[in-house]
Structure 1
Amino acid sequence: MDLGEADPKGLVRESYRIDGITPGECRSIFMDWALSVPVELSVPDAVRTLIARYGADAPDHPMTAVLHEALTAPEHPRRRGGRAARVGLDG
């Protein structure tokens, strides 16, 4: 996948140009980027393209960390709450 396909609006490119950008701002930009990815494109492939282009030159940039997080599978949800959480295990 080429860079133009992976970042058609240049959102990720611009995030690397912002001095002092925070991880939270990078996550927000990433969400904007992710919502604009065409359905027919593979998001993991696009993220790998972005990491190869921008992350290699800026491994400590917060957007690089966000991109790597995007490739990590989410943990399985754990159930919290319910009766046991309210009254304890003794019942």
Structure 2
Amino acid sequence: MTDLMTAIDPRGLIRDSYVIEGITPGECRSIFLDWALFDDHEMTQEKRIEALLDHYGEAEPDHPMTHVLRDALVKADTPKRRGGRAGRVG
């Protein structure tokens, strides 16, 4: 594992998800959430996800974790709805 991957995934959660045989999408989402909550890196989460996809996703494009990581990037780009006065006034 490269130094960058060690820094981005210090507990090896994402790495390990790629070697678990028969892992389900639900298990990958749970692992991703655990990884995302351990957020103490100076790089933005979006950049870290992109780096993980570059490292793991190209070799395993159909893996459930690759799909979870791609979904996370799409949702990160989706504008958030603002409620209350801020949503009405703009």
Distance change in 2, residues 1:39/1:5 (3 Å): closer
Q: Percent identity?
A: 48
Query: What is the CA–CA distance in structure 1 between the aligned matches of 2:44 and 2:79, rounded to whole Å?
Result: 21
Which residue pairs with 1:86 in the alignment? none
Which residue pairs with 1:57 in the alignment? 59
Report the count of equivalent residues. Answer: 79
Which residue pairs with 1:80 in the alignment? none
Structure 2: stretches of 5+ with no match in the other structure: 82-90
Q: TM-score, normalised by structure 1?
A: 0.77
Counterpart among 5, 8, 33 of residue 6 in structure 1 = 8
In the alignment, does 2:41 pair up with 1:42? no
SS in 2 for 1:71: helix
Q: TM-score, normalised by structure 2?
A: 0.77
Displacement after TM superposition at 1:41 (Å): 2.9
Displacement after TM superposition at 1:57 (Å): 0.6
